[in-house]
Homo-oligomer: A and B are copies of this chain.
Amino acid sequence: MAVFSSITHLGSNPPLIGFVLRPTTVPRDTYKNIKETGVFTVNHIHSQIIEDAHHTSAKYPREVSEFSQTQLEEEYLDDFYAPYIKGAKIRMGCRFLNEYEIKENDTLLLVSEIEHIYISDTNIQQEDGWLSLSNADTVTINGLDGYAKTELLERFSYARPKTK
């Protein structure tokens, strides 16, 4: 379990995400677990759990589960091999597909497919399918150690060229 700020949408069909691992600074256990099991979960951090979530970035020995060091609890859903965070409001079960070595700084881009998605509250998903991350209380990260809440300003329609 660790905090990742670099998870990026790569495409929606198939539903792919990418994130970057820095082998020299990020716990290698995360990488090793993903490669061994082929699966992992992504759990949105909401404001009530930022302190515990941040603490998961501490470097414990591999035999120590971060679950034992915080109030966060694991939960298994639909026979998926990797545990989710209990109470997280948006959760995704992901399967590792491929990795790319970024030569410029010896990092790895891991490409994975979203297989499951769980949304906890009825006020998060809107009629058109869009998820309100403000309503989910999902925090956004600022740098390495700042956590901020968000407030939606506006949603725009699909942008089309102006006509005279």
Main secondary structure of the interface of A (DSSP, over half): mixed
CB distance from A45 to the nearest CB of B (A): 11
In the complex, are the beta carbons of B143 and A58 less than 8 A apart? no
Contact A60 B152 (CB under 8 A): no
Kindly state whether residue A34 has any CB partner on chain B within 8 Å: no
Interface size class of A (residues with CB under 8 A): 35 or more
Q: How far, in whole Å, are A112 and B59 apart by their CA atoms in the complex? A: 29
Binding site for B on A (CB under 8 A): 5-6, 8-11, 14, 16, 18, 20, 22, 47, 50-51, 54-60, 64, 69, 97-98, 100, 102-105, 107, 109, 111, 113, 130-134, 139-140, 142-143, 145-162
